[in-house]
Structure formats: structure tokens, C-alpha cells
Chains A and B, each alone.
Chain A
Amino acid sequence: MKNCTSGRCVNFSFFKKHSSSTAGFTLVETLVSLVILSVTLIPILNLSGNITRINASLQDNLVASGLAQEGVEIIRAIRDTNWFNNRAFDYGLSAGAYQVEWNSTTPLSLAGSLPLNINNGLYTYSANSGWIATKFSRTVTITKINAGELQVVSTVTWPGRGGINKNISAELHLFNWK
């Protein structure tokens, strides 16, 4: 079916074919496809949200590992101080569970799993005004392995997501080598 006037030809059969192939989607088809799309999108977005939460918990790990390291370093400083003062290396470091602050010269007795408080960036057990409780609590456990060796384990515990406690430990073995 061709219509040729003044040398130009228009093929009407082309138009006819075209118009019958553009029947389009029905409303129901469109809605169903939208629902399927959104249903598949939701788990993907959820996954992304999970990654965000995991990242936040990783930041807690970093803070806790610093605090755990502090726990064992303080006990080491006490051992060295004992040497400087001609005392036994384990003077004041009998087996047990303790808490320590950065400037402790002896391990402090453990008062439950007391959380550390923070003020101006410093973590201690001070309960004065201006000190804000953190979620981290630290326990330093000293075990006497033999007469010349102490095992020190510093554990930082904090409540993670869903009420599950998370913890990070640092372990140090101190010898009487001097």
C-alpha cells in the first residue's frame, strides 16, 4: 500500500504495523513490575544498611583495642617500677582480677564490671561531675604461671548490637629476667 505523490512515497503499511506493535503495558502489568522491583530493591538497601552498622561496631573495636593495650602497659610499668625500687618483680601484682587507670601505681580492686568514664578524652573511673559513662568496661586479670612469669590479660567489654556483649583482649607475659 503505497501513496506516491510528487515523487515521494509514504508506506502506510509501515505505520499500520508500528501502531499495532505499540499496544503498551496494562496498568496491572506496570503495578506488578513496580512491586517486584521494590521487593528486590529492599534487600539490597538493607544490605547496605548492615554494612553501615558493621562499620560503627568496627570503630568500637578500635577504641577498645587501645584501652585493652593500656591495661597491659600499665601492669608492665608497675613491674619495671618494682625493679627500679629493688622490689620483687611481682610486688603488688598478686593473682586476681583488677581494674587500672593510666596513672595507677598498683592495680585497683575490681568493683564489678564498672564502665570507664570519659572527660576531656581521658578514660578513668572518676565519678566527679563532668565525667560521662562510656559503654566500655575493662578488667585486668593477673595469673601467676610460675615464680618467674606473670600472665596479664586485659579485657575490654562493651554491649554490642542486639544486647550481645563484645570484647577484645590483650595478653602479656611478664618475666623476671633482670
Chain B
Amino acid sequence: MTTSKNLKLKTKNYQTGFTIVEVLVSAFVFSIIVIVVGGLFVQILAGERRAFASQKIQENGLFIMELMSREIRVSQIENQNSDCTAQTLTIIHPVNGTVIYSLSLDGILKRTADGVTTDLSSAAVAFSRLNFCIMGSGPTDGQQARVAILASIQNKTGKEIVTANLETAVSSRDVQTEF
């Protein structure tokens, strides 16, 4: 009798399952943790995408601003537009000849040098704006030529659109043209 009771108790101890309340509580706790961590994860994922888009914009923005500034400051400016509506810029570079900056319909910055057109910006970003403000480009206006470049760059992929509005101005380094 004693041995059989002991045996029964022992067996009962090891075979006890969870009660329904325990299971419900644990499922509840688990789901709360999963919701919090999962929500955080989704948020981070969206942020990651935004950061990646922003990085692409920065890479392209830095490159085109630097490249255009370098070329414009040693060139003779062909257009004149003081109300910042010029969508193309034509310059005569001492080495590269006639260079035209323009925007394609799908927002890619193009550079045409001696009739050969190349893409300056990557297909990962779109220029929603490329305007030039040009002042003092005439040879006898008593003004040093200056060009302000206005560029708005956006990402093409992802739910969230990141826009960077870049502006810089370049003053011509040429002090011979109006001597």
C-alpha cells in the first residue's frame, strides 16, 4: 500500500501539465513581448530604409554639387537667368569645351560635353528640381559671373519619400573677361 501510494504520487508529480490559466497567462505575456519587440523591429526597419535612401541622396548630392561647382567656376557661362527658372546650364569649359547640364524626364542629371551625354546621377535617386540662377554672365555688364545651383533630390524606392533641397553658389574664377 505504502509503495503503491508513493509510486502513484511520484508519477503524478512528473506527469502534471499546465493548467489552462497558466497557459493563457504565458501566451498573454509572450504575445505582449512579441508585439513590443516586433513593433520596435518594424519601426527600425522603416528607419533603416529611410537612412539608406538618405545615404543615396547624400552620395549623389555631394558628387554632383562638387563636380558642377568645379567645372562652372573655371568656365564661361552662356545663359543668363536671374529669376532661377533656368533648367539647363550651358558653359564653355577651357578644356572640356561646351558643357550642358540638364535633367532627363525621369529625373536623372545629364551632362553633355561636346555632344556626348552621360548620366551624372544614379538611377536610385530622382531629381525633382534642377534650376540655375545666373547673374553677371555677360562680358560687359561689370559683374563677376555667379551661378546658384538649386537641386532637390528624392529617393525612388520605399514608402517614405526623403527630399534634400540643396543649394550652393559658385563665383567665376575668371577675372580676365571684363578687364
Contact = CB atoms under 8 A, between A and B. Distances in A.
**A and B form one complex:** yes
Given A74-B169, A77-B171, A84-B143, A102 B54 contact: no
Interface of A is mostly: helix
A61 to B, nearest CB: 9
Contact of A103 (B40, B135, B144, B165): B135
B58 A51 contact: no
Contacts of A4: none
A69 B169 contact: yes
A130 to B, nearest CB: 13
Nearest to A48: B44
B26 A30 contact: yes
Contacts of A31: 26, 29
Interface stretch (B1-9, B97-105, B106-114, B145-153): B145-153
A56 B129 CA distance: 21
Contacts of B175: 80, 83-84, 178
13 contacts: A42-B37, A48-B48, A51-B51, A52-B50, A63-B165, A69-B69, A77-B144, A77-B146, A81-B136, A102-B146, A120-B129, A121-B167, A122-B131
Q: Closest 8 A-B residue pairs measured CB to CB?
A: A80-B144, A52-B47, A66-B168, A77-B171, A121-B150, A70-B169, A55-B51, A102-B148
